[in-house]
Amino acid sequence: MTARAGSSDKENNVSKKIAAIICAAGPGTRFGGKRKKQFIEVAGRPVFLRSIELFSNREDVKQILLGIAKEDQEILKVNWGAKLSFFHVKTFLGGKERFDTILRALELIEEDIEFVAVHDACRCCATAELVTNTLAKAAETGAAIPAAPVTATIKQVKDGTIIRTVDRSDLYEAQTPQVFETSLLKKAYANLDRLDKAAVTDDAFLVEALGHKVAIVESDSSNLKITRPSDIAIAEAILKLRPKPLPAGGINPFAEAEW
């Protein structure tokens, strides 16, 4: 994988062979509008491309797999085909549910891949540091995810009435990228049919179901997942507040200005 300008030595420390699965096959029904949320621009670049960039500038990432919906094949090819090819991104058709998309991606993982990072395409504000730290924790424990402490007051409600206030002291919001040893994630997905699929909301759930402990890397709310149109302005504000990396070495044909 060719490193992009501005990547640091820490980010490109080659220790494990990693595959990144970017989930972009969702319908985005809650977002609304004519264009799916994964293709909306945030601070000048499409959401899903920003998520790809988190992995395309790492030399330890040997595969990037982008799961898309069948109806999005043409828009991807016409608008971003050259960029995806430049960064060696392989697209594949995802499924109806998120876990269907991951199942298909696991069939495409190369044999020498040691760890798999699963990332939501619409979580485009994750930082390179968070990715590095999550990968490092997974290398230690076999399974790790970023998670942010819950800071809001949480109410349990039934029939429109509060039943109780939930103790938030040990509650965390799960985020992505979620990173697992390849063999562990494949084993977790082989167990999928034994579980209530309606309860499966992330990959960590499946790994937990095997009895394997999943470590967390503490994150914060800036690693938001774009769900509604109002999230676009929040994401842009987050990205604009961050310092821009200085170019190092030559500029490739798809440099920052062209994104």
Full set of structural domains in the chain with CATH: 18-258 (3.90.550.10)
Residues 234 and 224: their CA atoms lie apart, in Å, by 9
Between CA 198 and CA 57, with CA 108 as vertex, the angle to 5 degrees is 100
Angle (deg, nearest 10), helices 98-106 and 182-190: 130
pLDDT of residue 26: 82
Average pLDDT over residues 5-21: 63
Antiparallel, parallel or unpaired: β 89-93 and 172-174: unpaired
pLDDT in tens, 49-90: 999 999 998 999 999 999 999 999 999 999 999 999 999 999
In tens, the pLDDT along 210-232 reads 999 999 999 999 999 999 999 99
- pTM comes to 0.86
First and final C-alpha spacing in the chain: 19
Given a cut of 60, is residue 247 above it in pLDDT?
A: no
What element of type H or E holds 133?
A: helix 128-141
Residue 118's φ and ψ, nearest 5 degrees, are -105, 125
